[in-house]
């Protein structure tokens, strides 16, 4: 199986890349620089990355790359406009461009899948305030994923959207609930179970349904 994972320089992305490699899968993990360079905010970078894969097929595309710039921003004086633009460029547009550019390679696979890492912070049912930009971007990419599931179903491509848990990474912080290893173990099980029958799902890392 050929697995393409965006954002593998650290954290969950690095953990996913290591796990699939250990399983014996062919893994292409992207970073901003290096052998498989991809800046998800740059359309030209997407084009170049897709071209570098040649006539390969992609069995599983994991859209993991993302940013969280607005921690501890002040409601009155914080959340500058450029921060909104930069976050949405990575977390929303970047995901869409990844799928759009790699779609021909996905269609070459027998049972292709797309896994989009969103967050419980995308949920309207869970809105405790704060982190307005990150929450809005993860809600937006959830919406993108749900609509992709509809449009890609006739092409035989399944799409799932996932909350990886509150994970002890640079983004999640040292006081988060679970380890990278636990998150990755749960996510890989969810990705294995993804198919056309459950396309459009919004699940937590441990298999529980995530409220919209």
d(CA 40, CA 46): 7
Give the per-residue pLDDT at 167: 80
CATH code, domain with 27: 3.40.50.720
- Residue 145 located in a structural domain: yes
- Residue 211 located in a structural domain: no
- Residue 210 located in a structural domain: no
| In the block, residue with structure tokens 């990150």 | 134
89-119 tens-digit pLDDT = 999 999 999 999 999 999 999 999 999 999 9
202-211 tens-digit pLDDT = 999 999 999 8
d(CA 174, CA 179): 10
Domain that holds residue 92: 2-204
13-23 tens-digit pLDDT = 999 999 999 99
Q: Answer yes or no: is pLDDT of 125 > 70.
A: yes
Average pLDDT over residues 113-134: 92
Please, which pLDDT band fits residue 176 given cuts at 50, 70 and 90? low
The overall average pLDDT reported for the chain is: 95
On whether the CB atoms of residues 61 and 99 are closer than 8 A, the answer is yes
Give the per-residue pLDDT at 177: 78
- Residue 212 located in a structural domain: no
Task: For residue 205, give Cα distances in angstroms to 71, 120, 133, 178, 184.
Answer: 23, 10, 23, 10, 8
Task: For residue 203, give Cα distances in angstroms to 31, 102, 162.
Answer: 26, 24, 5
Q: How many distinct structural domains can be found in the chain?
A: 1
Q: Answer yes or no: is pLDDT of 174 > 90.
A: no
């Amino acid at each position: 199986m050929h697995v393409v994972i965006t954002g593998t320089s650290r954290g969950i992305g690095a953990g996913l890349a290591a796990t699939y490699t250990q399983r014996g899968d062919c893994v292409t993990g992207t970073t901003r620089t290096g052998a498989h360079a991809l800046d998800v905010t740059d359309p030209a970078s997407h084009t170049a990355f897709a071209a570098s894969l040649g006539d390969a097929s992609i069995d599983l595309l994991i859209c993991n790359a993302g940013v969280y710039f607005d921690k501890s921003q002040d409601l009155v004086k914080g959340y500058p406009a450029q921060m909104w633009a930069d976050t949405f460029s990575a977390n929303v547009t970047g995901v869409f461009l990844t799928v759009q550019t790699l779609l021909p390679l996905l269609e070459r696979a027998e049972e292709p899948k797309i896994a989009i890492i969103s967050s419980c912070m995308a949920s309207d049912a869970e809105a405790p305030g704060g982190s307005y930009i990150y929450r809005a971007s993860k809600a937006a990419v959830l919406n993108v994923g749900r609509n992709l599931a509809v449009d890609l179903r006739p092409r035989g491509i399944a799409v799932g959207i996932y909350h990886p848990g509150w994970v002890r990474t640079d983004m999640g912080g040292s006081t988060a609930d679970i380890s990278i290893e636990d998150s990755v173990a749960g996510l890989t099980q969810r990705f294995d179970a993804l198919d056309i029958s459950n396309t459009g799902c919004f699940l937590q890392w441990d298999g529980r349904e995530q409220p919209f």
